[in-house]
Structure 1
Amino acid sequence: MAFYAESWLTEVLVALSLYWQRKGVPYLEPRFPFGNVYNSFVGKTSRPMELNEAYLQFKGQRFGGIYFFNRPGLVIVDPDLIRTILVKDFWTFQHTGMKTNENEPLNGHLFRLGGNKWRRLRVKLTPTFTSGKMKMMFQTLADCGREMGEVLEEPASRGQVVEMRELSARFTTDVIASVAFGVEVNCQRNPEAAFRQWGRRFFQQNFRNTLNSVLMAINPKLLTLLRIS
């Protein structure tokens, strides 16, 4: 039985590796069943940091192949190729590969939508980010930054350890509330403000969110089949 399991595992790993090998693409050896995202899946690092590690390993190449569980992903390294994908040939590459339930208001945004829906939303949002409006936003961001400096003065004077993740989240919440909603919520001085409490709830990691991420990485169609939002 152990021999059979080991043989089956070997076959799966070989099948995964062959995808990029057949295409002549340099790739990182996958680890079953996680592919190349084991460390971020178990919480040892973040997904962006793990992707950055892959990027650094492909230095000297134009691109390289990795795996999100059983799904292949391409890491682009060459700046000229990145520019071509993001500008000249962007319409071919703008699909995110993520399934979106558009009935949930927080899901229908630019980072998740694709195709014509993405394009229509982009046209609507583009006037928001003119140079003049960006300058106005910058002043608001700078004001929130000064507020952060003042908030840090007291713990700094006592040599107190500060949780930077929470502090950064409160700063970001203040910026978003001011710029996007025109509301001063003052989360940096009041960590329990209602705006911040909802932010915590939205981004809190739990078993369901982890399961959704795994299913999304393996095959987005599973979310539809299992009726998971």
Structure 2
Amino acid sequence: MEPWSVTFYIIIMLASVLMYFLRQYTNYWTRRGIPCDTPHFPYGNLDGFKKTHHIRDIVRANYEKYKHTGPFGGFFFLLRRSVIIYDLDLAKNILIKDFNNFSDRAFFHNERDDPLTGHLFALESQEWRQLRNKLSPSFSSGKMKSMFPTVLSVSEKLKNTFDRHLGKDSIIEVKDLLARYTIDVIGRCAFGLECNSLRDPNSEFRAMGVKSCTKSRHGNIIDSFLHSFPKLSKLLRLRQIDEEVHQFYMRIVRETVQYREKNSIKQNDLMNLLIELKNSKQGLSIEEVAAQAFVFLIAGFESSASSMAYALFELALNQSVQDKLRAEINAHFDKNGGVFTYEDMTEMHYMEMVMKEVLRKYLILSHLRRDTKNDYQTSDPKYIIPKGTLVIIPADAYHRDPEIYPDPDKFDPERFSPEEMKKRHPIAWLGFGDGPRNCVAMRFGKMQSYIGLSYLLRNFKFHYCEKTPSPLETDVSVHHFTTKGGIYLRVERI
């Protein structure tokens, strides 16, 4: 037999063996009688992912199809064996009661080679616990109160920027201006820098902020590998953060820390708190300081800006809600002679209801991820989550379930009145996650959103116009939920 033919037969044999094991692997759930759509290499059950479908729509479709079949269903997240949790009691156990078995988020991080990924959101087990304990005091009510004047001053600039734009046209693209606002707030509070994005839309800090949320270091194939096998990717010393973004944020953090320490400068911002941790007995390295400031940026910039934009969009379509919210805002401003206090912000109950409804309809991170440390037996003997399985808690699907929220496309803040909330399962709303790994910066996210919206609604009325998108179109090319194009509204001075 010719050597080439031997090689050919060996290749065929190896391919056949590989196909056999791949078929066995992807038939895992079906063999156990647990519902699972047929996965396809290499995207698993994410057919059309980042091309024609957003991940939230793929996961929601699975939930709607199988939610009455059992506590969870089988799924393949790219090449990784996963489950989607349908039962809210099971979701609560995973997030809270049995948290120790599901404490890790299963996101890529490689703090040695890619230090900006070594942040609180991605770290695991003991590293996460230690860092969370160090950082939690930084987001207490007292610390938020100290940052409050800074956010007020940027919100005043936001109001003035809207006012300047009205001098040209009554139609304003609000999404872009709000992104510039959150960049300026986070630049001041996390990095101690005057970014001036509201004045200069082409500022370097804003450009890098946008790039950090939209540009990856690799293409889709490597990105898929990072998401499917984060631990193996770390062993292979792969990196995720774009090199230009990495160099920019490491440089400005080093320069800021050096300047403040050299000149004994203290400010009421997150950077000051991180420097104090760096110089404490607990200690943070300069790379850890940069990573925490960086995640504060990427978590707060896109999510808060988008949530505020969707709030204005819905308020423009629901004038009675807008009027009621404005009345609450004015009452708080007026009782102190036009001064807005931290205590006022915490007492804005209707604002809370409005923003919970915004996050119900427009959840930025559509699902929560957890890694299974050990085999987990549910209340149904047939349903066991094996060790190493990726757990997907489909928060967006819960938020859009008509059995939980009747008429889910309707914008109705009254869903979050105290009376209505008592009627629902406590896990039915996951705007900031839940359990020990909920959003550590929740108070800050609320603060910058509530203050920014308060300044705008006190001074302007928002209406839909011929350029207002209807419906909003999802950008399927990114992991988090965002919409294509801008959100144009007609704005009127009060």
TM-score, scaled relative to structure 1: 0.74
Question: Which of 197, 205, 224 is equivalent to 1:195?
Answer: 205
1:66 and 2:75 matched: yes
Is residue 36–residue 68 contact of structure 1 (8 Å, CA) maintained in 2? yes
Partner of 1:75 in structure 2?
84
The structure whose residues are more often helix, as a share, is: 1
Is residue 109–residue 234 contact of structure 2 (8 Å, CA) maintained in 1? no
Partner of 2:37 in structure 1?
28
Q: CA deviation at 1:125?
A: 0.9
For 1:142 and 1:23, the matched residues in 2 are separated by 57
Q: CA deviation at 1:74?
A: 1.9
Is residue 55–residue 75 contact of structure 1 (8 Å, CA) maintained in 2? yes
Partner of 2:483 in structure 1?
none
Is residue 16–residue 30 contact of structure 1 (8 Å, CA) maintained in 2? no
Range with greater deviation from structure 2 (198-207 or 76-85): 198-207
Gap change, CA 1:66 and 1:198, over 3 Å in 2: same
Counterparts of 1:101-180 in structure 2 under 5 Å?
Answer: 101-103=110-112, 104-135=114-145, 144=154, 147-148=157-158, 150-152=160-162, 154=165, 158=169, 160=171, 162=173, 164=175, 166-180=176-190
Q: Please give the secondary structure, in 1, of the residue aligned with 2:115.
A: coil
1:89 and 2:61 matched: no
Range with greater deviation from structure 2 (169-178 or 153-162): 153-162
Partner of 2:344 in structure 1?
none
Q: Please give the secondary structure, in 1, of the residue aligned with 2:136.
A: helix
Q: CA deviation at 1:113?
A: 0.8
Question: Which of 223, 227, 245 is equivalent to 1:213?
Answer: 223
The answer for unaligned runs of 5 or more in structure 2 is 1-11, 240-494
Quick check: which has more Rg, 1 or 2? 2
Give the letter for the 1:201 counterpart.
K
Show CA shifts across 1:129-162 (max 9, x none): 2233345556755665565455445269636573
Q: CA deviation at 1:46?
A: 3.7
Q: Please give the secondary structure, in 1, of the residue aligned with 2:48.
A: helix
For 1:55 and 1:33, the matched residues in 2 are separated by 22
CA RMSD of superposed structures (Å): 3.6
The answer for unaligned runs of 5 or more in structure 1 is none
Gap change, CA 1:93 and 1:160, over 3 Å in 2: same
Range with greater deviation from structure 2 (175-184 or 8-17): 8-17
TM-score, scaled relative to structure 2: 0.38
Partner of 2:55 in structure 1?
47
Aligned-residue sequence identity (percent) comes to 35
Q: CA deviation at 1:85?
A: 1.5
Is residue 158–residue 181 contact of structure 2 (8 Å, CA) maintained in 1? yes
Q: CA deviation at 1:181?
A: 3.0
Gap change, CA 1:94 and 1:159, over 3 Å in 2: same
Q: Please give the secondary structure, in 1, of the residue aligned with 2:89.
A: helix
Show CA shifts across 1:197-229 (max 9, x none): 222332342571534311123434553575432
Gap change, CA 1:112 and 1:147, over 3 Å in 2: same
Range with greater deviation from structure 2 (53-62 or 8-17): 8-17
Give the letter for the 1:124 counterpart.
K
